[in-house]
A and B are shown apart, each in its own frame.
Chain A
Amino acid sequence: MVVYNFKKIRVVPPGKDFVDIILSKTQRKTPTVVHPQYNIHRIRKFYMRKVKFTQTTIHERMSAILEDFPRLEDIHPFYSDLLNVLYDKDHYKLALGQLNTARNLVDALGRDYVRLLKYGDSLFRCKQLKRAALGRMATILKGNSSSLLYLEQVRQHLSRLPNIDPSTRTIILTGFPNVGKSSFMNKVTRAEVDVQPYPFTTKSLFVGHTDYKCLKWQVIDSPGILDHPLEDRNTIEMQSITALAHLRSCVLFLVDVSEHCGYSIKQQVDLFHNIKPLFSGKPILLVLTKIDLVRFEELTQEKKDLLQSVADEVHDMMGLSNITQEGVANVKQAACDKLLEHRVEIKMNKTGKSVEGILSRIHLAQPEKRDHRQRATFIPQSVTDRRNDVMDQAEDGAPSAPKRKTVKEIEDENGGAGVYQHDMKKDYLLKNPDWKYDVIPEIFDGRNIADFIDPEIEKLLDELEKEEEVRLEEPEVNYADDEIYIEEEDEDVYEKIMSKKSIYKQKQQLNRRANNHTILPRKNRPVDLDAIQKELMDRGVDKETLDRVRSRSMTRDASVTTGRGRSLSTTGRSKSTSFERARSVSQQRVVEEREANPVSAKSVLGKRKRSLSTRNRSQSATDKLSGLVDAKQQVAAIKLGHKKQRLLALAAKRGEADRKIPNEMPKHLFSGKRSIGKTDRR
């Protein structure tokens, strides 16, 4: 289904703006720098590109305009006629035609100038040619400014046209001006059409939507039409004529029986007969409006006859009053029903054979029976009573059972919110209805009654008290004394431990305060042999055992050292280190010496530390070299290792995996003036 939406048409710039848009686009999107010393081909290409670009841009813009505007032949006849009425078909086509011609002219021009540019032999000549080409294109555009202006106006108006779907269920309101078409529209739909007490308030078609039988109905409010020949009709009237002529719809012909609109019933009936050809093949409804002023029965016989003659033709006459709302719903329903019936009929006739096809689509599903039990709908007695009441009421026109008033209504009756206050206690459900209005005190017998809200509170209290009593009867246990139980002989040790602990603690605290640096993990910390020895001795290990253990470890060390004596010397980087190493081997002895001579201990400390670290390294080196056959190979391997590491070391990398870039853009290299020197040499 075609959807008629004219809101998507793009803006049509006026002639001068068009030129500006095109030229500035050319300026923006094509290169701008060219020099006479360039190769002539390059110069030619440069200017050809400009000309070609301008031409294509214009072509595209023009094509967009031509495409966007609807072609009158292609759209629904209702719309094409409406456009003809509103904008004049000839003018419309002429404007579009002129744009088309202009587009072709620009294309031809572009082609010609590109050809001329091929023979340009200097920058000057090329430039002049380009200038001439763009100038002529701009002239063509300016020549079309009037049609562009017209099209822009048409576009703006088109986009504001109501969205009328010519194929859907439509109800059209028609009649003389001021008979109440718009009022009816406002009653039936939410269109909010302007209603004024003078004729021709509605100057164009208005559309609104309403619901009936779960279907959407389009209601079209048309401007009033006068009774004169088609040639004399103005644009406003022609719009409603167009709608009447082309939309398959139900027509509501509104007649003002009170003649307050300024036209007699006779005139209105004449109008009906005049425009009757427009109603052929459509369901029509004669609607008498403003019946709150004059009822049909109150009319003179003459007028009655006139109306009756029309009613006989359309088989239907209804009255309505927009003020009292009388008959509004009825008219709507009647119109909708009539149209629906009509449409179904048309469909049946049109499809002919395939009626069954349509009918078979309508299938009412029934659940299969489970058993023979009757399962009737259950409606409570109260509901049926109520319903019956309502029915009675509708029949009698007088309420039999008064409707229950809502609290809101009562409030409104008694002066609205703020003045009237609803009695909240009225509907309390209590054992004795007399208690409803009893005042509940906050304090009763010296107690807060809120404390006694819980009905079982007494019971709970009892339980609690009982539990307390049971607890009180149990024997007392002193947990505090029971915690640490030390025998007397261990008391000495215990005290020692505690004092030691506190010393350690204080030491630790002092240390932490004194050297405020990062804490090394234990395994990386230098081993202080003195401290270890002292500690062990304090703990009660006697000196002999200690010496024995140390000598054993020393011999092991020595054996290791002698075993790799050669390799150690090769790994050495300088004589001094080898010397250190020699000392490292004998470090245990150093420790002993230091013990003997505590003054020299301090001076040795630094060296010792270094020696320790070297020892660690040498050991790890032996691990690395462990798989190699002889010294020669080891030397080679070490050399290779060094070579490998040199580049990494140069780049200050930790290893191959170190991809860190510490500072991507060093500020000192990327900021400030650059008058002298280069970016990286300043």
Chain B
Amino acid sequence: MPQNEHIEQHQRRHGHKPDHWEVQRKKEARVHKNRSKMAQKLFGLKAKLYNKKRYTEKVQMKKTMKMHEQKNTEEKNDDAIPGGAVPVYLLDREGMSRAKILSNTIKQKRKEKAGKWAVPVPKVKALTEDQMFTIVRSGKRKKKVWKRMINKVSFVGENFTRKPPKYERFIRPMALRFKKAHVTHPELKATFQLPIIGVKKNPQSHMYTTLGVITKGSVIEVNVSDLGLVTPTGKVVWGKYAQVTNNPELDGCINAVLLV
């Protein structure tokens, strides 16, 4: 015991108050009262957090209780009933099994699988032009309105050279240019951050594909050389398609599923 643990030292020397354990027991028994008092008193954000915490705790508790119950429940199992002549004292006994737990876990697993690996986005919501672009006014009197700034996340290749700014029709802001995507391999069930090679297809329009705009449902080509995937012929694959599953402009990152 270190030198400065005064409380422990004192307890070791002088012990506890005579009613210490009694007090402790009562305090413990009062816990639920204090909790409910707290729950009634709190409001606003604190209440939200508190209730959330309590809720998860309760759910967890109920789940574990159920698990324990399941362990103990015995089910009838007709197959296990012994056939043929059975002595009287064994007549009432029927085959029991605890197979329920197993089936439960299987169910759980199946559910997880279904939840996690849905097909990549099959349908997308159409975007109008004014959602896609903002109009940039130009000219000395700011009356020319032919310039557009792209509002969505875009990919700009390494060797892209700008036109003279004056004549540039579509502006892709630096802040909205992305180079990397979080790509999930559906079979490996793992996510990697991979560099983007290009935009293969934007379902909204061909023009967006050429501009390299990435929206939900776009198919992008990613560099998978780090993953070490190999073709049946034995070549190392380095480019693969992936479909974007989120709205990058809302999330600030690109999530995609590798198309295998």
Interface residues of A (CB under 8 A from B): 20, 24, 27, 112-113, 115-116, 118-119, 121, 124-125, 128-129, 132-133, 136, 157, 159-162, 191, 193-194, 203-207
Contacts and interface: CB of A to CB of B under 8 A. Distances in A.
Interface of B: 1-5, 9, 12, 45-46, 49, 134, 151, 173, 175-176, 247, 249-253
Contacts of B252: 112-113, 116, 129, 132-133, 136
Given A24-B45, A118-B175, A129-B250, A160 B134 contact: no
Given A119-B175, A191-B3, A20 B49 contact: yes
21 contacts: A20-B49, A24-B46, A24-B49, A113-B252, A116-B176, A116-B249, A118-B175, A119-B175, A125-B249, A125-B250, A128-B251, A129-B250, A159-B4, A160-B2, A160-B5, A161-B2, A162-B3, A191-B3, A193-B3, A194-B1, A204-B1
Given A24-B45, A119-B176, A132-B250, A161 B4 contact: yes
A448 B57 CA distance: 89
Contacts of A203: 1
A643 to B, nearest CB: 60
B176 A206 contact: no
Contacts of A129: 250-252
Contacts of B45: 24, 27
A529 B115 CA distance: 115
A193 B1 CA distance: 10
A16 B46 CA distance: 15
A193 B5 CA distance: 12
Q: State the 5 A-B residue pairs at the shortest beta-carbon distance, nearest first.
A: A128-B250, A115-B175, A160-B4, A162-B3, A160-B2
Contact of A162 (B4, B49, B250): B4
A115 B176 CA distance: 8
Given A112-B252, A113-B252, A121 B3 contact: no
Contacts of A159: 4
A110 to B, nearest CB: 11
A198 B197 CA distance: 71
A162 B251 contact: no
B175 A116 contact: yes
B57 to A, nearest CB: 13
Contacts of B176: 116, 119
A28 to B, nearest CB: 9
Task: Kindly name the residue among B3, B45, B134, B247 whose own CB sees the greatest number of chain A CB atoms within 10 A.
Answer: B3
A136 B182 CA distance: 14
A529 to B, nearest CB: 80
A27 B45 CA distance: 9
Contacts of A125: 249-250
A125 B2 CA distance: 55
Nearest to B2: A160
Given A119-B151, A129-B252, A132-B253, A206 B3 contact: yes
B3 A207 contact: yes
Task: Pick from B9, B175, B176, B253 the residue with the most CB of A within 10 Å.
Answer: B175
Given A27-B45, A118-B175, A125-B249, 5 more contacts: A24-B46, A112-B252, A113-B252, A116-B176, A204-B1
Nearest to B248: A116
A133 B193 CA distance: 18
Nearest to B175: A115
B151 A121 contact: yes
A499 B37 CA distance: 85
A157 B49 contact: no
A204 B151 CA distance: 64
A544 to B, nearest CB: 97
A458 to B, nearest CB: 68
A128 B252 CA distance: 9
Nearest to A206: B3
Contacts of B2: 157, 160-162, 204
Nearest to A120: B249
Contacts of B173: 119
Contacts of A124: 250
